[in-house]
Chain A
Amino acid sequence: MRTENLTEILRQHPFLAGLSDHYMEILLGCATNVHFAEGTYLLHEGEVANKFYLIRTGRIALETDVNARGALRIQTAGPGEVLGWSWLISPFRWHFSAVAVADVRAVALDGECLRKKCENDHDFGYEMLSRLAQVMERRMEATRAQLLDLYGTVPGVNA
């Protein structure tokens, strides 16, 4: 019953849209349904990156410590989005911390378990990697736009 529910939950997540039944089954072995109350940290900067989250509800904020300025929130992710790809890339350490800013329901995927499965089945590994690459590309594009400080001034009307 638990597995059936989790399969259904995984199927509904946009990150896994169109994934074959076979790959879904592989993924299922690494998946756990999780809940984080507001204010709980899902991961901490510098720690071992051993998880990957598919967010179902709520919102998380990515934070980084900027010495005297304290924790700076740089991005949020919400329903339908993915949190964390450091589990896939050596040295497998988180580059940011992530905190739940609203109650979060998510599916946690065990990074080590997934890495092994990607190694054992390269087709599955390619499928995961191409999906993650799309997420990374969109995230990088958004980060570039954020760096532009677009709202500083609007040239023209307000001289």
Chain B
Amino acid sequence: MTHEIAESATAVLDPMITRPVTLKRVIWETDDTFTLTFNPCEQGETFHFLPGQFNMLYVFGLGESAISISSDASHPRTIAHTIHRVGTLTTGLARLKHGDTIGLRGPFGSAWPIVAARGKDVCIVAGGIGLAPLRPVVYALLRERKSFERIILMYGARTPLDLLYRVELEAWAKVHNVEVLVTVDRGDSSWKGHIGVVTNLFSYLKLDAPATVAFVCGPETMMKYTIDELDRRGLRQEQIYLSMERNMKCAVGFCGHCQYGPEFICKDGPVFPLPRVRHLLDRKEL
């Protein structure tokens, strides 16, 4: 596998022009996380995205934010964004309802190298809201199930109530040769699953290191622990891909808001092969 992301970003008609879209559904996944769905092609435009890419969503009067696409790339006429309500903009998005209009620019950024992972075991490690940009990967892998060997999804959340896509997690776990391992940081007596950090789940797996590609997304500290664990299990850096998150503004590499060392997360990322960002992960204030 090369260091480069195999799939390139799809072209955007005019990346600086926001177009209006109407919300079809607002689904509350947890107390503070919700999914917005809409048709990005209302005016007859074409829209295609690749798993891992993001859109800029504009809330009138509040501003714009980069949000990963969390739906199936084979259904580009109904796309979803799963959003964690943490600040002013996401609180504004959380107040929206069916029929409301938001602005859309995108899609932007690099994608998970799904084509390059064909014929291999795919190990997906997600933490918290990090499962959202990886959900399109799961859809893509399952759609082409025979093109991949083992599929492993490890997912960690804060509590059982913070788990995203619970129904889908259960459904994916029933698919042949798909292993879904879920853990939470804190559980009560009703929770029968794993408790502990997501990296603990590696204890229950034997990875075929040379034949495995890992896709990791979550808080940076969690990703660092995961990289250490993958390293212990014999994966080379070239076999590991991360999705990095930073505040983005223009989404096309002009403004420098999301600069990460020599990289622009919006233009060069958000998905990076580990060798390109490994030296930056331990640097403070980047």
Contacts and interface: CB of A to CB of B under 8 A. Distances in A.
A142 interface: yes
Interface stretch (B14-22, B80-88, B110-118): B80-88
A151 B157 contact: yes
Interface in B229-286: 244-248, 258, 265, 270
A33 B68 CA distance: 50
A101 interface: yes
B197 A146 contact: yes
Interface string B194-205: 111101100110
B54 to A, nearest CB: 7
Nearest to A70: B189
Contacts of A145: 197, 199, 221-222, 225
Contacts of B193: 76
**Chain A: number of interface residues, binned into ranges:** 20 to 34
A125 interface: no
Interface string B175-193: 0000000010111110111
A158 B195 contact: no
A73 B186 CA distance: 7
B107 interface: no
Nearest to A101: B192
B189 A71 contact: yes
B67 A158 contact: yes
Contacts of B86: 153, 158-159
B219 A150 contact: yes
Contacts of B265: 156
B247 A159 contact: yes
Interface stretch (B2-10, B127-135, B146-154): B127-135
A59 B157 CA distance: 19
Mostly helix, strand, loop or mixed at chain B's interface? mixed
Given A61-B187, A73-B187, A74-B186, A153 B203 contact: no
Nearest to A152: B158
Contacts of B221: 145, 148, 150
Given A72-B188, A74-B186, A145-B197, A151 B156 contact: yes
A81 interface: yes
**Chain B: number of interface residues, binned into ranges:** 35 or more
A105 B188 CA distance: 23
Interface in A128-159: 142, 145-146, 148-159
B65 A73 contact: no
Contacts of B222: 145, 150-151
A73 B189 contact: yes
A159 B258 CA distance: 13
B158 A149 contact: yes
A142 B201 CA distance: 11
Interface of B: 54, 65-68, 83-90, 127-130, 156-158, 162, 183, 185-189, 191-197, 199-200, 203-204, 218-219, 221-222, 225, 244-248, 258, 265, 270
26 contacts: A59-B192, A70-B189, A75-B195, A75-B196, A76-B194, A76-B195, A80-B203, A142-B196, A145-B197, A146-B197, A150-B185, A151-B128, A151-B129, A151-B156, A151-B222, A152-B158, A154-B219, A156-B258, A157-B54, A157-B65, A157-B248, A158-B85, A158-B86, A158-B87, A158-B129, A159-B88
Given A156-B246, A158-B84, 13 more contacts: A59-B194, A73-B195, A76-B193, A76-B196, A145-B197, A150-B128, A151-B219, A154-B84, A154-B128, A157-B54, A158-B67, A159-B87, A159-B89
